[in-house]
């Protein structure tokens, strides 16, 4: 029986925002499960700092009734996926990690600090900042003024209330010591035009995981918007190669 699939979204995102274009295709062969992390979607905001172990267990709990499952992580969700595999090795059959990191670099850390400062301020300014880091430059150049304005309006009204806690967690994540012990089949996908998580940072993530495969999307940090079909294809083709266990 084909293992189910769990989806782990990114900081300041939701399952819908980060994965919705992929879910119909991924659901053809597998049951797909997901949960919004605290402060996203309908999940209540945390009352204190988020911890990676708690998010990993929350994610795994979303697969109630499933003995085994693969996990697709995006951005911050990559770290959640890795920790889920470490905490539940008997249940996780494979990992697909997109636009992720073992630890953010100094440039990304400064962008995270700027993001955190803007969250409590003017939403239009926050939306402009997020658009500048979310979309790759080639994709942005193809947008009309009307499309750009539409993106800005959407971003401004959909910022999850839990974003500050998400951004704080991203700055504390450091997986470098645990990744060499990861033994689950893994595909790491970089985003060629990523302006938030540098492609080299995602490549470092792949290099630290024994036997990890590497692929790259011609997109920025928003593959669900810029390259959903190609992203879904990479995920499916990799999972089809993972032997049942």
Q: Tens digits of per-residue pLDDT, 129-158?
A: 999 999 999 999 999 999 999 999 999 999
Q: Measuring CA to CA, how many Å separate 6 from each of 25, 60, 102?
A: 14, 8, 20
Tokens linked to 48: 């204190």
Mean pLDDT, range 10-32, rounded to an integer: 97
Question: Using CA atoms, how far apart are residues 140 and 128, in angstroms rounded to an integer?
Answer: 12
Sheet holding 32-34, edge to edge: 32-34, 4-8, 69-74, 92-98, 186-191, 213-217
* Residue-level pLDDT at 98: 98
Q: Tens digits of per-residue pLDDT, 99-131?
A: 999 999 999 999 999 999 999 999 999 999 999
Question: Using CA atoms, how far apart are residues 54 and 170, in angstroms rounded to an integer?
Answer: 14
On whether the CB atoms of residues 92 and 84 are closer than 8 A, the answer is yes
On whether the CB atoms of residues 100 and 163 are closer than 8 A, the answer is no
Q: Tens digits of per-residue pLDDT, 190-237?
A: 999 999 999 999 999 999 999 999 999 999 999 999 999 999 999 999
Q: Are strands 69-74 and 32-34 parallel, antiparallel or unpaired?
A: unpaired
């Amino acid at each position: 029986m084909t293992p189910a699939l769990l989806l782990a979204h990114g900081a300041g995102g939701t399952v819908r925002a980060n994965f919705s274009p992929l879910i119909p295709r991924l659901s053809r062969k597998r049951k797909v499960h997901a949960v919004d992390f605290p402060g996203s979607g309908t999940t209540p905001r945390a009352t204190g700092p988020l911890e990676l172990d708690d998010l990993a267990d929350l994610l795994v709990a979303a697969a109630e009734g499933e003995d085994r499952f693969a996990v697709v992580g995006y951005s911050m969700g990559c770290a959640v996926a890795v920790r889920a595999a470490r905490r539940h090795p008997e249940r996780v059959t494979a990992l697909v990690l997109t636009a992720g990191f073992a630890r953010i670099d100094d440039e990304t850390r400064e962008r995270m600090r700027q993001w955190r400062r803007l969250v409590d301020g003017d939403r239009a300014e926050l939306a402009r900042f997020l658009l500048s880091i979310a979309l790759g430059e080639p994709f942005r150049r193809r947008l009309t003024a009307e499309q750009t304005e539409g993106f800005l309006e959407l971003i401004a009204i959909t910022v999850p209330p839990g974003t500050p806690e998400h951004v704080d967690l991203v700055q504390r994540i450091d997986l470098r010591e645990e990744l060499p012990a990861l033994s689950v089949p893994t595909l790491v996908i970089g985003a060629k035009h990523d302006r938030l998580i540098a492609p080299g940072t995602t490549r470092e993530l792949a290099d630290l995981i024994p036997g990890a495969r590497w692929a790259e999307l011609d997109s920025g940090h928003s593959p669900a918007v810029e390259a959903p079909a190609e992203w879904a294809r990479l995920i499916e083709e990799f999972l089809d190669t993972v032997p049942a266990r």
